Amino acid sequence: MNPVEIIISKRDGKELSGEEIKYFIEGYTSGNIPDYQMSAFLMAVYHKSMTADETAALTTAMLESGEKIVFDSQDKKYIDKHSSGGIGDKVSIILAPLMVACGLKVPMLSGRGLGHTGGTLDKLESIPGFRTDLSMEEFKTGVDSIGCAITGQTPQIAPADRKMYALRDVTGAVESVPLICGSILSKKFAAGPNSIVFDIKCGNGAFMKTIEQAKQLGRSLFDICRAMNKGAAYLITDMNQPLGKAAGNALEIDESSAALRGKGPDDLMQVVFSLGECMLRLGEIAEKEKAIQLQKEKIADGSAYEKFMKMTAYQGGDTACLEKNKPLKPARKVISVKSNKAGYIRSIDTYRLGRLIIEMGGGRTTVGQPIDHSVGFIIHKNIADKVDENDILMDIYSNAKLSDEYLAEAFYSCFEIVDQDVQPPELIKLKYRGTG
């Protein structure tokens, strides 16, 4: 085989064989195929796309480029969850221990903040001592002994993806759906799950702005999983406003801890329970109403919170901080944002809210930049809510990196208030229950 011929075939829209894709990825990982040829290949894929079989072969080749964790390949109870990212999306932190309490095993590789969205690893690192850099052996031991572990990608996992992503970022090929799917799934399946449930966020605070874009990504991820003989299901959920009340790293840990003790906001728990129902069905534990009821029971009896504490302790986190039932990392000041008129909230610029947290220091603008875990906000009013003049829309948790006046004005500008009644957005826009 010849790299140039493979590039030309894909450039001309032809379907590549699994052998051709494997040859190309192995050659690039080993250094035998240079960056400029991989760049050409990536751009050809960007313009001509890939079939589900091609993308499955690409994902498998990227997966095989590094080390993998192997659990029982026939055990359907090893299930992960992936979100495409949003503001206030702390679902993974709640869902992993909850699913373990229900009888599943959850080996979860997660990421840091990306663009305007927060990252699960950054949130967990709000807990003093919590390690998100487990070795593959430590990760497997955690899943075996506790039932779940949440950690970041190690250098040994999918090295082909790391090299390819760096090129995609500088060659304008980031938005390719096959390349997005290959990147996500090669890392996820390296952690050993037999199924994945996807939460595809849709709206102004998501990467997928339209329902059509979200459906394309969800269906692509599902089809590739099936081509790899893996179980899959996906939901499309609303991200036109923050999920839950809290946004910001430590504030989201506080809310996650409260949710596991039965005090989670209704919208957050609806997404948790819907994703959990898919996971429990794929794991052949329970379906539909029984799956929802099982989750509620495991929160009510304290076993879900207990699993969270055990995972935290195993990963070096200070459980005493969580037990105090006080803010994990209090900010220096709280600034209340009040409405200057009466009416109804028609829209919330959720993307802007995420960018403002980053401006406050709660996210990164450069790789490796330290972040302030304490900043963020608690939102009190959502789309369609009626507000009166001087009602508090949100509270900003600030460490005075930016002036109070700037923050109050900037956050207030994210709310559109009108005179007419407004219909609330549908939270669960689509549920594709999939197959195991």
Residues annotated as catalytic (active site), given as ranges: 82, 161, 168, 183, 187
User: What is the Cα–Cα distance from 425 to 347, expressed in whole angstroms?
Assistant: 10
Q: Quickly tell me which residue has 């250094």 as its tokens.
A: 31
Question: Quick one: tokens of 346?
Answer: 């028609």
How far apart CA 101 and CA 279 sit, in angstroms, is: 13
Helix/strand/coil (H/E/C) assignment for every residue in the chain: CCHHHHHHHHHCCCCCCHHHHHHHHHHHHHCCCCHHHHHHHHHHHHHHCCCHHHHHHHHHHHHHCCCCCCCCCCCCCEEEEEECCCCCCCHHHHHHHHHHHHCCEEEEECCCCECCECCHHHHHCCCCCCCCCCCHHHHHHHHHHCCEEEECCCCCCCHHHHHHHHHHHHHCCCCCHHHHHHHHHHHHHHCCCCEEEEEEEECCCCCECCHHHHHHHHHHHHHHHHHCCCEEEEEEEECCCCCCCEECHHHHHHHHHHHHCCCCCHHHHHHHHHHHHHHHHHCCCCCHHHHHHHHHHHHHCCHHHHHHHHHHHHCCCCHHHHHCCCCCCCCCEEEEEECCCCEEEEEECHHHHHHHHHHHHHCCCCCCCCCCCCCEEEECCCCCCEECCCCEEEEEEECCCCCHHHHHHHHHCCEEEECCCCCCCCCEEEEEEEEC
Q: Is 59 left (phi over 0), alpha (psi -120 to 50) or beta?
A: alpha
